[in-house]
Every structure is written in C-alpha cells, then in structure tokens.
A = this chain, B = another copy of it.
Amino acid sequence: MSTRREAVREALTTSSGFRSAQDLYADLRADGSKIGLTTVYRALQALSDAGEVDVLRTDEGEAVYRACDTESHHHHLVCRVCSTAVEIEGPTVERWAAEVGAQHGFTGVTHTVEVFGTCAECSRA
C-alpha cells in the first residue's frame, strides 16, 4: 500500500458521507498535498477493486465513494443535503430480491438498493 493510496483512504475515512474523486482531490490539495488527480482516481479504483470502499453513482452520473465500517453486504441511507450516510441491512430486502428474480427465471441475481432522505440534522435547518 503506497503512501498516496493511504492518503486517499485516510481522506475518505474522515468523511461519513460519499465523496467524489474530485472532492477528495480538492481536500488533499487543500491540506497541502501535491498529489495528482490521476493518482486519486487510481487509488479509488484499487480500493474499489479490493472491496475496501463502496461506490455508487449520483443522478448526474458522477461516481462517489465511501469507506464503510463493514465489508459484508449492506446498503445505505444517504442524506440528500450533506451526503452523510448510514449503513443499513435488511434481510427482508435480500430475500425479496432473490425471490422476485427466481420467480422470473433469472439466474445470478444481484441488486442495488439505496435509500435517500434528509437527515435529522439537515431537516432542522
């Protein structure tokens, strides 16, 4: 694990929400790092491949990443305002997805589930 990649992981870990490559690059540069944008992309790619970070796409198509506490299968409850995310689980959903796939004769069934809303804190404002 190179120093640069460690820096990207660190920058990602200090945030509880999903961040884009550009966000992280800006953060790191603001902290005085001389890291290049390409390296940030490469680090995120590697971390993603290693299953150490979760990725999802915003409505605008931008990839955003998050360093989750658990590496086991889970989903997220994401604040639309501050992008803070909470890891959630749902045996109910897991079962439902598998069943609906099987019912239609699909094999190798997977799913994507994300829940969005305005978090308690942002709701107050």
Which residues of A come within 8 Å of B, CB atoms?
A: 57, 59, 61-63, 77, 79-80, 86, 88, 90, 92-93, 96-97, 100-101, 104-120, 123
Contact = CB atoms under 8 A, between A and B. Distances in A.
Contacts of A92: 92-93, 96
A69 B91 CA distance: 30
Contacts of A57: 57, 59, 61
Contact of A96 (B90, B101, B123): B90
Contacts of A109: 115-117
A108 B112 contact: no
A123 B104 contact: no
B123 A117 contact: no
Nearest to A102: B117
Contact of A115 (B62, B88, B90, B101): B101
Query: Across chains A and B, which 6 residue pairs bring their CB atoms closest together, nearest first?
Result: A105-B120, A106-B117, A109-B117, A61-B61, A57-B57, A111-B115
